[in-house]
Structure 1
Amino acid sequence: MAELIIHSEKIKENIQYLSRYFKTHHIEWSLVTKIFSGDKTFIANILSEDVMECVNSVCDSKLSSLKYLKKVFPKLKTIYINPPAPVRVDEVIDCANISCNTSITTIKALNAAAEKKDVVHKIIIMIELGELREGIHLEDLASFYEAVSDLSHIEVVGVGSNLGCMFGVEPTEENLAQLALSKRFISETFHKELKFISGGTSITLPLLENGLVPKDINHFRVGEAAFLGICPLEGEQFKDLHKDTFELHANIIELIEKNISPGGNLTTTSKSQNSGRKNVERSQKSYKAILDFGLLDVDKNDLQAEDDFLFVGATSDMVVIDVGNNQTASGGVKYCVGDTIKFSLNYIAVARLLSSKFIHKIYV
């Protein structure tokens, strides 16, 4: 079974570093925990009490994750970052102190659910700034706010935006200024001071470092930088954060010299490729190694191998690589059955591997 190596202390240090960093910039931040899907072992190993003391709140897109986090940390402030489905409003009220919203219908349903439980539920109104994910149009903010601000068990505590997650729209000083203006608009029009202007994520960190984030932006939602140490805009390390927090170790379970090209008639459903080699004859051979993970676990495009070889193809539970003549520069044997191939991982790879029941997780 392939292994996901999790460097617990490095992740903890990243979270603590970010806490100090945001404090120096007078910004509140929430740890986005959706990468580990509420995994109880991950929470026990990473989210220790000393780490959670550094976090103002946590965000997640899975209600089951927030529910378990609330069970472990009853006083923890939680934010549900997906627009809720109306059918799930009772669960949202139970496990989230705050939710991010774009639908008046849903907010009214949240109000009814909160009234039944005799609580006031806080909401952040999400604004569309070009990413075409969740968010109302800025020109609709006045009518939207007016429709929900007087609900008896709802409190509008902020506005927010989401950039860079789907189409990769880059946050800029200009588009964040639009979000900051919405705070002033609400203040001047409705005489309401919003607590949160939630406009920052991992992708916004370089702007903050360069002093280009408008001062009204006072809340960041950060996951990738905390867990992988990078800013996703360029995939580069952010300041002194650790990048080497996760590794995939795959085992070679077969290593045999085989034809470079497959034999027989190929179906149109094939997901494999011809080793990246052009103009090869069917009789030409190279060594093929089979690794013990597959498409059910992770997409090979989200992996970066430690060594140089060619991906041949993948099935649900195996990946085949082409290691050429399987020789080192000095002429020795490079790989054997039982050897480990190491991969570094991007955010999506880590999220998928953590949720896979076919990958062994090892905390170091």
Structure 2
Amino acid sequence: MTALQKKFPVVEVDLEKLRHNIDEVVKRCNEKDIMVAGVVKGFNGIVEATRQFQESNCSFIASSRLEHLEEAKNAGMQGPFMVLRVPMLSEIPDLVKFADISLNSELEVIKEINKECVQQEKEHSILLMADLGDLREGFWDKETLVETAVFIESNLDNVTLAGIGTNLGCYGSINPTVENMNQLIEIAELIEAKIGRQLSIISGGGTTSLPLVLDGTMPERINHLRIGEGISLGKDLQDLWGVDMSYLYPDVFTVKAEIIELKNKPSYPIGEIFVDCFGNKGEYIDRGIRKRALLGLGKLDFAMSDMLIPRKKGIEVLGGSSDHLIVDIEECTDQLAVGDILEFDVRYATMMYLTASKYVRIACV
């Protein structure tokens, strides 16, 4: 515990705007009979923000990190809690303790979950993951997936097969389509024919699958999505997919950083250019002497400077080092001074890194 009276940098979270975004997305999904697992991983499970999901009509609170679910549970939230990353064998005791449902792709792990459930006198639900081409987690061989489903249904008393799911767009950049959603449904129906009952969940992916819901093309049997960025920011769908997300607040998260140096300097480095502190060779444009500001925030906190978006006009992010953000303010008409605070919007990556940094204060407003 630090005794520092830290004010900046800070990430401010507007809880009212976040709740608005949750309600708007969940309403649109529920109108199509689709449950929403609200994913809190992107902002690292900030408890006050997670509570907005708990108090909404989200069907699950979801994260890939058990720590986020533990914090929510310790804060009195009831879930149900969903784990998104397929479990490690070493974390199964904690998985059973803190989660109600998880995504799985290894029968060995599922058997161990069942054993741990017996020890803890609990039950646990699972979704079997199908890899439809994005090449992250999931069964590639569909016959093996069906056989695994039958084994779980017939042999494991403390693990319930709730359904199946897929992930698209996180590694292989594969776009969710009606075609690959129908592939998932076909696999579900093969399982249902073998086990003699209908699966309760067919989870069609995450934020990248939301456009199919919004344009009315999502196949009917897809009844579950795992949505994070599409709620907390909504910028990727707007900017990359061209989906109208104007009903959401894009500024739920605000980064505030303090100017620590303000000077006129050349825009092109002087001397023999080699590599920066991360081993990368930068690209620079000679624009003459320009006014620039140095801020007390660095790549240690946000990793990707090009995903910080200045709110004030006339400010351009040039780059950064571990502990500094460098911005061009030549075109800014405001009279800035050392000690002034600049505000930035974030994208998914910078939201994730900033809210994980112990050097950045979090303030829920």
Range into which the TM-score falls when normalised by the shorter chain:
0.7 to 0.9
Secondary structure (helix, strand or coil) at the match of 1:156 reads: strand
Equivalent residue, structure 1, for 2:345: 344
| Displacement of 1:74 | 5.1
Equivalent residue, structure 2, for 1:240: 247
Counterpart of 1:340 in structure 2: which amino acid? I
| Displacement of 1:38 | 3.1
| Displacement of 1:53 | 4.2
Deviations 1:273-320 (A, max 9, x none): 777314x7xxx5322310110011112021122334454442211112
Equivalent residue, structure 1, for 2:295: 291
| Displacement of 1:143 | 2.4
* TM-score for the superposition, normalised by structure 1: 0.88
Mapping for residues 199-238 of structure 1, pairs under 5 Å = 199-230=204-235, 232=237, 233-234=240-241, 236-238=243-245
TM-align CA RMSD: 2.4
Distance 2:332 2:100 in 1: 58
| Displacement of 1:110 | 0.8
Deviations 1:43-101 (A, max 9, x none): 2356259x524221111111111112222345321111111001111111101111100
Instruction: Return 5+ residue gaps in structure 1 as ranges.
Output: none
* Aligned CA distance change for structure 1 residues 322 and 276 (closer, same or farther; 3 Å): farther
| Displacement of 1:255 | 0.9
Mapping for residues 263-302 of structure 1, pairs under 5 Å = 263-270=270-277, 276-278=284-286, 284-298=288-302, 299-302=304-307
Distance 2:136 2:242 in 1: 21
State which drifts further: 290-299 or 339-348.
339-348
Aligned with residue 190 of structure 2, among 172, 185, 203 = 185
Distance 2:215 2:355 in 1: 34
Alignment partner of 1:14 is 2:21:
yes
Mapping for residues 161-172 of structure 1, pairs under 5 Å = 161-172=166-177
Does the 8 Å contact 1:294/1:318 carry over to 2?
yes
Matched residues, percent identical?
28
Mapping for residues 23-102 of structure 1, pairs under 5 Å = 23-39=30-46, 43-44=47-48, 47-48=51-52, 52-73=55-76, 75-102=78-105
Does the 8 Å contact 1:79/1:99 carry over to 2?
yes
Equivalent residue, structure 1, for 2:4: none
Does the 8 Å contact 1:310/1:323 carry over to 2?
yes
* Aligned CA distance change for structure 1 residues 312 and 204 (closer, same or farther; 3 Å): closer
Alignment partner of 1:153 is 2:158:
yes
Instruction: Return 5+ residue gaps in structure 2 as ranges.
Output: 1-7
Distance 1:351 1:162 in 2: 19
Deviations 1:215-234 (A, max 9, x none): 11011111112211345352
Counterpart of 1:315 in structure 2: which amino acid? S
Distance 1:241 1:313 in 2: 29
